[in-house]
Amino acid sequence: MTIKNVGVIGCGLMGSGIAQVAAQAGFPVTVVEANDELAKRGLDRLRETFEALRVKGKLDAKAKDALLARIAGTSRLEELKGCELVVEAMTENQQLKNETFAKLGRIAPPHAILATNTSSCNVTAMAAASKRPGQVLGLHFFNPVPLMKLVEVARTILTDEGVVTTATEWVRTVGKTPVQTKDSTAFIVNRLLVPYLLDAVRLYESGLAALEDIDTAMKLGCGYPMGPFTLLDLVGLDTTMYVAEVMFEEFREPRYAPPPLLKRMVMAGRLGRKTGRGFYTYNA
């Protein structure tokens, strides 16, 4: 099966990045959002990104227009009926995802691959809901999607081998490096990354050091591109807390439990860059 048309559900931080890399690799992309207003906002976000790249001299005006012409926005899931690959990138909500996969199972072409960009939800549950579990798998991109090279390809015990092969090849076609993993909460990266981020919060809570010093220590002492608090602000404190809660629920290990400070910051609306304030403060 050849992938010609790509659908992306959700056009937030992750969905818009996935739409961008697919369009840049030459695929016509249909982006679906919950309503027309959000679909328009998603397309505006992509337009702004391409304009910034044009201003930087990384895209000429013609290439920018061609990219935008390749991306359509809609609020109707039915418009994915011509897509050989659909990547779901909605918020992390198992029930919502299951419902969406049930609809996709009725709408998408019979041969379509149905992927989820989830970082913590149960892919097998989505596969079962779709009523065509052999065609469902995880394709987990990283933030910021256009810059991060990795995609975790997560198969369930029900995924057809051919689907894994085709999806893995598509990941390479859009310029990313695939790694194979099983459908298990948080896959490889978040299984290792999330406890590290939570430990950083606990360390700060304990009063051991200032957050700037913890960030500098990990950046310069370990060669990480960002310290843990800069990364938490990038990923979103709400996203990290949600992933941690799902991991704690699944594995019942205290190291996955979100620390009190993280919970309180989320309650206070300090979610990171996207709200202008997390551990650090950002200008608009």
Interface ranges with ligand 3HC (CB under 6 A): 49, 53, 56, 119, 142-144, 146-148, 190, 193, 225-226, 231, 235, 239
Residues with catalytic roles: 119, 140, 152, 190
Secondary structure of residue 95 in the 3-state scheme: helix
For ligand 3HC, which is the closer residue by CB, 144 or 269? 144
Between CA 135 and CA 158 the distance in angstroms is 8
Measured distance CA(104)–CA(181) in Å, rounded: 24
3-state DSSP: the chain helix, strand, coil percent, rounded to 5? 50, 15, 35
Distance CA 141, CA 179 (A): 11
Instruction: Please state whether beta strands 85-88 and 6-9 pair in parallel, antiparallel, or not at all (unpaired).
Output: parallel
**Would you say 112 or 126 has its CB closer to ligand 3HC?**
126
Integer CA distances (angstroms), 85 to 5, 177, 218, 253, in order: 7, 18, 38, 36
Provide, rounded to whole angstroms, the least separation between the CB of residue 52 and ligand 3HC. Answer: 7
Amino acid present at 263:
K
Q: Do you know the residue count of the chain?
A: 284
**Cβ 144 to ligand 3HC shortest distance, Å:** 5
The tokens for 189 are: 């990266």
What distance in Å separates the CA atoms of residue 129 and residue 123, rounded to the nearest whole number?
10
Considering beta carbons, is residue 119 or 159 the nearer one to ligand 3HC? 119
Nearer to ligand 3HC, 112 or 265 (CB): 265
Q: For residues 1 and 224, which CB has a smaller minimum distance to ligand 3HC in the complex?
A: 224
Q: Are 115 and 136 in contact (CB under 8 A)?
A: yes
Minimum Å distance from CB 226 to ligand 3HC? 4
Longest dimension (CA), the chain: 56
Q: Tell me whether residue 94 or residue 143 sits nearer to ligand 3HC (CB atom).
A: 143
What's the min distance (Å) between Cβ of 4 and ligand 3HC? 23
Show Cβ contacts of residue 201 under 8 Å, excluding neighbours closer than 6 positions.
228, 232, 259, 261, 262
CA distance 269 to 152: 30
Query: Smallest gap, in angstroms, from Cβ of residue 120 to ligand 3HC?
Result: 8
Chain position whose Cβ is nearest to ligand 3HC: 119
Supply the minimum distance, in Å, between the C-beta of residue 134 and ligand 3HC: 25
Q: At what angle do helices 61-69 and 13-24 cross, to 10 degrees?
A: 110
